[in-house]
Copies of this chain bind each other. A is one copy, B any other.
Amino acid sequence: ARPRVGYFYTGKTGSQLLTEKIKKIKVHEFQSLPVVVQESASVYDAITTMFLEDVGTLFIVDEKSKLAGVVSRKDLLRASLGQQNLNQIPVNIIMTRMPNVAVCYKDDHLIEVARQLIERQIDAMPVVEKIDNDGFEVIGRVTKTNITKALVDLAVDELI
């Protein structure tokens, strides 16, 4: 049979195809490298790292490189307004600590992470792997910047 150009059969509407395409995107397709800081580091060191690496969120790890918490630019701004010496406050005093940190896996759907960033009003989530059923190793980060890039990519992508 000759191909019938311009016709195609899917049993689905264009809108459903769109929805499905977005839902199929995995975290690992858009994740960035994580920036981590030891929990014993000072708030001052954390701020320096944030500027050097130009990120909005730092992941804090313990001496075994296990995820211990998260620090945002907002947390650091709040701390810097205090009258204390930022060199003498360890960053684990001001971090949001486990288990109150939302995490995701590289094979999760990006749209689910996007939904959680909105719901929890956070800017970033660590991409983790389980360590022997005891805690998480941080292997990446997903931010609203990554989500924005995904939307930009969808608008230029001509292939399903």
Contacts and interface: CB of A to CB of B under 8 A. Distances in A.
Contacts of A123: 56
Per DSSP, chain A at the interface is: helix
Nearest to A113: B148
Given A47-B81, A151-B151, 17 more contacts: A7-B9, A8-B13, A14-B17, A15-B17, A15-B159, A16-B158, A18-B18, A19-B157, A22-B154, A47-B77, A51-B78, A77-B77, A80-B80, A80-B81, A118-B149, A144-B144, A147-B151
Interface string A3-29: 000111111111111110111000000
Interface string A79-116: 01100000000000000000000000000000100110
Contact of A144 (B148, B156, B160): B148
Nearest to A117: B148
A155 interface: yes
Interface of A: 6-19, 21-23, 47, 50-51, 54, 56, 73-74, 76-78, 80-81, 111, 114-115, 117-118, 121, 123, 143-145, 147-152, 154-160
The quantity of this chain's copies bound in the complex is 2
B21 A152 contact: no
Contact of A151 (B13, B76, B114): B114
